[in-house]
Chain A
Amino acid sequence: DAGITQSPRHKVTETGTPVTLRCHQTENHRYMYWYRQDPGHGLRLIHYSYGVKDTDKGEVSDGYSVSRSKTEDFLLTLESATSSQTSVYFCAITQGSNEQYFGPGTRLTVT
């Protein structure tokens, strides 16, 4: 257990509304990641952080922004949600060499 929680666990929102997902970790890990999982695509990296206020884009970053003002929290924001952003979102941290450990996920539905 890497001490990762995600909130909310489920959310339904309407197209065009802003949405923020939160990832919280309790073990002071430097690296944190946001992925989305979609059928036929596996998990794809959205953004990652390598320290407080240090973030970078991943493979599918369009339409998403992130912030990390504290070591323990990594926020993912959809400024104006679209139906294509309906997905399951996972947060992860790096522990050990390259192993990433994942949170329980947030299921987001955009109607």
Chain B
Amino acid sequence: DQQVKQNSPSLSVQEGRISILNCDYTNSMFDYFLWYKKYPAEGPTFLISISSIKDKNEDGRFTVFLNKSAKHLSLHIVPSQPGDSAVYFCAASSQTGANNLFFGTGTRLTVIP
């Protein structure tokens, strides 16, 4: 059973506009959340993370928002650039134990020049 869900398989956005990628989780034990970007034929690249003690974390053009009561997080990219076109994976873990990550199925973002 998928504990981390990304319900939008794809998203297209014009260059310069905001991209919003969404992720939902079911396990209330998750307390650390990450976003990864993946280009074809490469491994996933860590993008940004957030601990459950925060509701927002920002790094340059990337901001992650966490809504614990809704078990929902989102990644905002603004402004979107053509180089952001990739598959984005949401992941979650519990900081007890081995920090194993549970991944969503990914959202393919296409930024149109």
Which residues of A are in contact with B by a Cβ distance under 8 Å? 4, 31, 33, 35, 40-45, 48, 50, 56, 58-59, 90, 92, 94, 97-105
Contact = CB atoms under 8 A, between A and B. Distances in A.
B25 interface: no
Query: Which 10 residue pairs across A and B have the least CB separation, nearest first?
Result: A102-B43, A42-B103, A43-B103, A42-B105, A98-B32, A98-B99, A102-B44, A99-B46, A104-B43, A103-B43
B contact residues, range: 20 to 34
B43 A98 contact: no
A40 B105 contact: yes
Given A41-B105, A90-B44, A104-B42, A98 B98 contact: no
A58 B46 contact: no
Contacts of A103: 43
Question: Chain A interface secondary structure, helix, strand, loop or mixed?
Answer: strand
A100 to B, nearest CB: 6
Contacts of B93: 98
Given A42-B89, A42-B105, A43-B103, A98 B42 contact: no
